[in-house]
Structure 1
Amino acid sequence: MKSTKTIILFTIIIMLLSCDKRKDFFEELNEAPVVLLNSRDNVGSNHAAYTTEVLDSFKLSNGTYILNILSTDESTGSKLSAYINPTGPYILNQSPPIINGENEEIAAQILFTPTVIGTYIYNVKVVDKFNIESEATAKIEVFNNLPPVSPSLIITPDPLLNIYEHKFNASACYDRDAKYGGKVVKYNWQVDANYNVETEFNIIKYIFPWPGSYVVRVRCQDNDGAWSPFISKTFIVI
């Protein structure tokens, strides 16, 4: 009886050792998981395709920055985590894992709404069931709205109805952060102290009342409400 118990105990020990060796065998064959990022859902994104390193700029007034995450691993049971420096509130939305071919995939998103400008660094980590980990990073420069620019003002005669009628052209105005959704939405036209109008048109017609010297000014406003400096031109009507 004692001999039988010894044999059973010995068999159990052999099985446990075999399991450990089997685990070590699979662990040696295991490859590190992969985690990739893209920022394609943001206006002006530099990274529409997945990569391990995102370098991006983001305009503060655009609201929420979205970072897409994709993790793949040949084994199941991987876990995602993320943190941001400097520390700030963010939301990590993670979809249930799916099997794609021979790999497990986890899709996720980080939603971050900055309240101040500055540099923010995301570190995203995936750890598989063998505690092998991989990381991807995103460096985001958050900046304030850039006001538009009025580089030139062109005045040309247009005497169709009146010999003193002229055309004012400020079509060269542009918004410096157009890549990030900025655009010019309004123009403020002034002629001496006699004319002051705001309009959506970058080209207007104006009839000078009589010959003389006039100061014509124009500035433009972007969709964040910021105005460019005035550009002025002294124009002589003969």
Structure 2
Amino acid sequence: MTGEKHDPNRPKFYGRRKGRALNRSMVAVVEDDLPRYAVDPAALPAEPTDMFDRPVRDLWLEIGFGSGEHLLGQAKANPDIGMIGCEPFINGVAKLVRDVTASGTDTIRILPDDARLLLDALPDACIGRAFVLFPDPWPKKRHNFRRFIGPENLPRLARVLRPGGTLRCATDHPDYLAWMLFYIRANPAFRWLAKGPSDWAVPPADHVRTRYETKALAGVPHYLDFLRV
């Protein structure tokens, strides 16, 4: 846990919210620029695409965006898509806000908090694609229940994804890979799209690689695409 006082009305959160102290410029980014992009799960518009300043044709969601490289890359490659990113680690949030502001991208909104708060607030079938890329593997067996992909959160993802939408997961941890495949394939709301090992042992054509993938991977990455049936 983070050591902060727990609100009984919120789900228990495991993981880091803060790292090294932000420097002065990044503090200013969080204080001055983040409110422009921030999402309030308690005050969502009835139609979530209305949170953007111009019309978008679909809504995509990334859970645990790290420093935001994939999220920003997808937004640049798909300028007609509204993107929402969830990340409780404020250092990563600050980096994304800085980079989004510098790029002038206007189709990104950010929840600097636990993604479950947003998943529980979104209306049914409003998301076209969801990404959960390289989440914390919580490798110790006694901590496996903390993994984001699992029996607690898959119903949440199934509810907000529209039929025909896709869930993309990625991990470089072999035990988490087996865990993901077991739980997602056991859920009747999802169908695995892989036709063979080559479909999940290499990044999909539209994937945006990040510095983590090129420098910090602990093992062989696998990319899993599932159809919301």
TM-score in same-fold range (> 0.5) = no
What TM-score do you get using the length of structure 2 for normalisation? 0.20
Greater helix percent: which structure? 2
What TM-score do you get using the length of structure 1 for normalisation? 0.19
> Radius of gyration: which is bigger?
1
Greater strand percent: which structure? 1
